[in-house]
Chain A
Amino acid sequence: MTARKELLISAAVVVLFAFGPWLSPLLHLDVSIVSEVLVTAIAVMSVNLLLGYTGLPAFGNAAYFGLGAYGAALSVTYGHVHFIEAVLIGMVAALLGGLILGPFLLRRRGIYFGLLSIAFGQVFYFIAYRYTDVTGGEDGMQIARPYAGLPSAHVTVTDLGFYYTALVIFVIALFAFRTIVRSPFGRTLIAIRQNEPRVRYLGLNTDRFIFVALLISATMAGLSGALFGLLINFAYPLELDWHQSGYFVLSMILGGAGTVWGSLVGAFIYVIGKDIISTITQWWQIFLGALFVVCVLGFPRGILGTLQALRRRAAQQFADDDAHV
């Protein structure tokens, strides 16, 4: 796909989302659920970076997501900070988490990496649950939505205001993601996924690349978590549980691992699909489980990945824009 065509399609998608608040009621959806799609897409991007591009099973990203949410929650409740500061503090909290866990996670690859991620994630989950005085325990923490803008101004963030803030942040995050994966750094990550020993033979320190990828992933997940906390005005321990990590991975697979827009597609299907189906029927969990099963068996490349593969097969050309699974 040419750069121009890509730009046009991207712009079209952004414009479509800009009309979100007016389009969503047609599907009987609230604007806040579309905000949730955008926020979740950032978390899915963080998983995509590790799993889709670098090939590491990232099953513990919920820990960073939760750190972001609680970082924002604590800073708003005790520090009385404003919107942007809360988000930044959440990101820093998640980044710190990544710095602490990173050296340990680096030592393993493959499924061991995945299991280690789960183990660490569960430890964080227990901490959030246990230290009731700080985190509110299983009752969670209410977050009064802080004001936006400069400290002197007091701009209330309405649901609509939040939506557009989330959209802007998402576009920035997506652009950053795209830049990262198309850069030499990103290429190296793809190479690591395809054959790590070979990359090492070429003289590159793969550990360093993976560590940076981990930190970026953690920070993005933290950004997502902080935004989510400010969206629902709440932070709670379940956000850190490995099931949550599993849902991020599912969304990534649904949308397309190793594609730039796959995260948004996957987040959209998962968040909105779950919302609609759970409104229609009490037995929605059967459908969600079935979706997992069908997706893993039938199209592991996800929607975008499958589309790209079909296109590639049709045009008989090498795609040098996205990594394919």
Chain B
Amino acid sequence: MIEHLGPQLFNGIVLGAFYAIVALGLSLIMNLTGTINMAHGSFMTLAGYLAYSMVLRHVPFGWALILAPLFAVVVGVVVERTLVRPLYKREPFYSLLMTFGLSLMAEEAFRLIWGPNGVPFSPPASLAGAASLGFMQFPTFRIFIVGVLVIAIAALAMFLTRTRFGLRLRAAVQDSEMIAALGTNTQLLYAVNFSLGIFLAGIAGVLAAGMLGLSPTSGNALLMPAFVTVIIGGMGSLFGSIVGGLLVGIAISMTTLFIPAASEVAMYVLMAIVLLVRPRGLFGEEGIFG
């Protein structure tokens, strides 16, 4: 068993990196406006399908990786403007229900447009193989995912700390009334924030489509781990989402090693424990949800 420890740990970290990207998007959307986006998985699947359609028309994978999420953002902006914005003043659970309804519609729409069966989508040949890491063979594509995460985090961090817009975003999370009083266009802020979250979802969706399969029901499976990650890492903390993602990834792969039957349930048990012991999670801020 001990010889598996190394590979499993590495595997867990890579898996965790993936969950972290998803959780970051979810967290961004949650932090500013308290919106719980149950349609996050649907946006991921949308970007995956769009990337698939692009690659089918000979768009290079690299471009598809950026363009598909951008198209998803367009949809996201429309959704935010018309459906999400009216719910900002209400309790979080309304957004939960509304986005749940949205995810039902999205699933059927995917079935209508791209058919009920899964579609074959794979990373380009350059990323498709397995790299030898000495102690194991590891898919190059998964290493690529870690690379994307690192870039995404760096870009997000720079945006939030170095640009004025990012500064306003952070200020709004702290106190949106004050920032409105100071003359900032909060509507625009909310829209951009939501778009950022959807963009991250889109990137995660294209990566997921390459790593796993792509079908109308793909989004559902990835939604719950993302929520668990946000809760463990802490609602209100982007850093927490990253750490939480890694923890969830490692927890799942380690449980698989020792008690395989429990590995998916382990996630929910972990979530329950965190909620009971320290609901704001590891790095969350007190009072985000009362």
Contacts and interface: CB of A to CB of B under 8 A. Distances in A.
Interface of A: 57, 104, 107-112, 114-116, 119-120, 122-123, 126, 130, 246, 249-250, 253, 283, 285-286, 288-293, 296-297, 300
Given A108-B275, A126-B268, A296-B101, 11 more contacts: A115-B231, A116-B275, A122-B268, A285-B108, A288-B101, A288-B104, A289-B101, A290-B101, A291-B101, A296-B94, A297-B98
A253 B93 CA distance: 12
A120 B272 CA distance: 7
Contact of B268 (A57, A110, A119, A291): A119
Contacts of A108: 275-276, 279
Interface string B121-139: 0000000000000000000
Given A110-B289, A111-B289, A285 B83 contact: no
A221 to B, nearest CB: 18
Contacts of A249: 97
B5 interface: no
A interface, over-half SS: helix
A286 B87 contact: no
Contacts of A296: 87, 94, 97-98, 101
Nearest to B112: A283
A250 B269 contact: no
B101 A104 contact: no
B290 interface: yes
10 contacts: A108-B276, A111-B92, A112-B279, A122-B268, A123-B268, A123-B269, A250-B97, A250-B101, A283-B108, A286-B104
A109 B104 contact: no
Given A116-B272, A249-B97, A293 B289 contact: no
Contact of A285 (B105, B272, B276): B105
B261 A130 contact: yes
A297 B107 CA distance: 20
A311 B92 CA distance: 28
Contact of A289 (B93, B104, B272): B104
A292 B271 contact: no
Nearest to A293: B101
B83 A289 contact: no
Nearest to A112: B279
Contact of B102 (A119, A123, A250, A289): A289
Contacts of A126: 264-265, 268
A292 B104 contact: yes
A66 B227 CA distance: 24
A289 B105 contact: yes
Contact of A112 (B83, B90, B112, B275): B275
Interface in B266-281: 268-269, 271-272, 275-276, 279
